[in-house]
């Protein structure tokens, strides 16, 4: 958008935490029901609790990870081909992070395109009027903010983020 300090880092971090709690809620509930509750009832050993919790987390991460990212880390580690259940967390976690970073950059680029178009339109309009000394950012900033508000940008961004994890929503 061009506003470096809006929204502030605290708001972005808070939004990220709340979205993480929302998206991970069903996984944490499964872990609680399948691992923590039996452990508290003393019907499961701590090593089994860790295995069950890890399996649920690994399943969640693998559902969001691109196969090519998993292949990449398998090739780097020279561990050879493995089934989904055999994959260690040392492969699953970096594959998941890389896959999520790729998705974040793609979303950022798609959000950036309309705003750069607004900058181009404003800059060419100012040049055609002979206003070369006026910075285009001063004029385009309110238009970009207005565009983001009119299209309900936060709702669209959050909706797409959540839909990535829950396509049925």
The whole-model pTM stands at 0.74
Report CA Rg, the chain: 23
Residues 6+ apart with CB under 8 A from 57: 27, 31
Which tens digit of pLDDT belongs to each residue from 41-79?
A: 888 888 889 888 999 999 988 988 888 988 888 888 888
Which tens digit of pLDDT belongs to each residue from 107-139?
A: 888 888 888 888 888 888 888 888 777 777 778
């Amino acid at each position: 958008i061009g506003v470096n300090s809006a929204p502030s880092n605290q708001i972005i971090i808070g939004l990220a935490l709340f979205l993480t709690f929302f998206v991970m809620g069903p996984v944490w509930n499964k872990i609680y029901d399948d691992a923590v509750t039996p452990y508290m009832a003393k019907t499961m050993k701590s090593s089994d609790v860790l295995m069950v919790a890890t399996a649920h987390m690994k399943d969640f991460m693998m559902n969001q990870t691109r196969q090519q990212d998993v292949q990449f880390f398998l090739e780097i580690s020279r561990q050879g081909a493995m089934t989904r259940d055999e994959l260690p967390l040392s492969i699953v976690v970096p594959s998941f992070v890389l896959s999520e970073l790729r998705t974040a950059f793609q979303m950022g680029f798609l959000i950036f395109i309309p705003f750069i178009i607004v900058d181009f339109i404003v800059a060419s309009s100012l040049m055609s009027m002979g206003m070369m000394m006026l910075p285009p950012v001063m004029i385009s900033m309110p238009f970009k903010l207005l565009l983001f508000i009119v299209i309900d940008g936060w709702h669209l961004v959050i909706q797409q983020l959540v839909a990535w994890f829950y396509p049925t929503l």
